[in-house]
Amino acid sequence: MSLEMSLEMSLGNSDLLRQVRLIDPASQRDQVMDIWIEAGQIRAIEPQLEIPDAQVQDCQGLVLAPGLVDLYSHSGEPGFEERETLDSLAAAALAGGFTRLTLLPDTRPALDDPAQIAQIKAAQRPRNPQLNCWGALTLGTKGEQMCELAELSTAGIAGFTDAQPLSAALLRRVMDYGQSLNQPMAFWCCDRALAGAGVLREGGESIRLGLPGIPTMAETAPLAALLECVAEIGMPVHLMRISTARSVELIGAAKAAGLPITASVSWMHLLLDVTAAQSYDPSLHLDPPLGNPTDRAALVQGLQTGVLDAIAVDHSPYSYEEKTVSFAESPPGAIGLELVLPLLWQAFVEPEIWSALDLWRWLSLRPAECLRQAPAQIAVGATAELVLFDPKQQWRVSPQTLKSRSANTPWLGKALQGRVVKTWC
């Protein structure tokens, strides 16, 4: 019986996790401790505990940390249930250690009115991740007509975004109007006209592979325009899907000038660059596209220097039929909720490029702060919003081992090390 199965079967209403490595970026704690969890609440944290009647679990070598926070991801339901349902999305989140999900509004129908938000929230199930929604900025997320933002802001949304490019004129109007709503707003900077039919970042590798490239300025030109709007209007914004070295430079300069911005990068852009696309795997067709090696290095450094604030999943499920086409013809996007933690741990924490505290800061603490949410606490009396992670457990990525309904990932069929054992929501 695997460790995952044995713990899932034996963890109960009162559990004593013995000698677990406790990681908490909020308190900068990285210690081996005993922790007692009873009825969904943290009851005690000590170097050694003896709790009568508690089920004792030997957790040496395991990591206990705050639940991960998803800044933005796509749901198939409603409209594309063959890709992902809300139930399968929640199952994938639990399997990946996420205790909070934040859904993008590009469902069909779009999340552009309070009734649609209420319908999603009604699907929330006990012991599942907290389900939040980004409200759309424009009707149908089409970038044409602004939604009734004031009405939508009362529906319990996480904030506003289309997760699609907006014209400069509409962007300025949205920011002017949104100042009074006191809600997070997130924008993706992309000039579709400059991007054209590109599928990789423009450069020598895209030419060698014979795939159309997207110039860096397709991201940086609209980013510069947005930063000018922020400087003029003064409204805090979140910058989504940063993917180029030049963007990191622009954001760094803007932060140094005191602009109220935060920024996130997709997890896959930290792990891979255009050189991975020589396999022509359609799951490597992303939007924004995979960058050049210098872009990837700058994104990693941007996190380490604080220019970038958080790592986003941007989970984008597609059916087998949709992705089983040529690279350039496939829809852009890949799943990630179940893969983020083990892959980033092995790529950055295991070789000591990052500390475990760094990883949890960028996957849990800072995403919550970008959403203006109180982060999960590891403290006596706090609700247990936790993930138990085994960095050594090995498993193979397959449609059978994934909880997501879709399997569009370049790691399909590959063996991974590191897996979530238990998630408390």
- In the chain, CATH 3.20.20.140 sits at 68-370
H helical segments located in 61-106: 86-96
Distance CA 98, CA 92 (A): 9
Q: What is the mean pLDDT of residues 110-136?
A: 94
Share of the chain above pLDDT 90, in %: 94
Distance CA 219, CA 247 (A): 7
Distance CA 386, CA 69 (A): 11
Query: Which CATH class name applies to 3-65+381-402+416-424?
Result: mainly beta
Catalytic, out of 24, 191, 314, 390: 314
CATH classification number, 68-370, choose in 3.40.50.150, 2.40.110.10, 3.40.190.10, 3.20.20.140: 3.20.20.140
Would you say 402 and 338 are in contact if contact means Cβ atoms under 8 Å apart? yes
**Tokens 């475990």 belong to which residue?**
356
Q: What is the pLDDT of residues 351-409, one digit of tens each?
A: 999 999 999 999 999 999 999 999 999 999 999 999 999 999 999 999 999 999 999 99
CA distances to 68, 165, 237, 339, 387 from 129, rounded to whole Å, are: 10, 29, 25, 17, 12
Q: What is the pLDDT of residues 279-288, one digit of tens each?
A: 999 999 999 9
**Tokens standing for 327?**
């690279």
Helix, strand, or coil (residue 87): helix
Q: What is the mean pLDDT of residues 96-111?
A: 97
CA distances to 33, 67, 106, 278, 372 from 160, rounded to whole Å, are: 40, 23, 12, 37, 13
Q: How confident is the model at residue 126 (pLDDT cuts 50, 70, 90)?
A: confident
Residue type, 352: E
Q: What is the pLDDT of residues 20-29, one digit of tens each?
A: 999 999 999 9
Residue 273 appears among annotated catalytic residues: no
Q: How confident is the model at residue 6 (pLDDT cuts 50, 70, 90)?
A: very low
Q: How confident is the model at residue 10 (pLDDT cuts 50, 70, 90)?
A: low
pTM of the model: 0.96
Distance CA 278, CA 158 (A): 38
**Average pLDDT, rounded, for the chain:** 95
Distance CA 309, CA 363 (A): 10
**C-beta atoms surrounding 27 within 10 Å:** 12
Q: What is the pLDDT of residues 306-315, one digit of tens each?
A: 999 999 999 9
Q: In this predicted model, which residue has the larger pLDDT, 121 or 4? A: 121
Q: What is the mean pLDDT of residues 336-346?
A: 98
The C-alpha R_g of the chain, in whole angstroms, comes to 21
Q: What is the pLDDT of residues 212-256, one digit of tens each?
A: 999 999 999 999 999 999 999 999 999 999 999 999 999 999 999
- In the chain, CATH 2.30.40.10 sits at 3-65+381-402+416-424
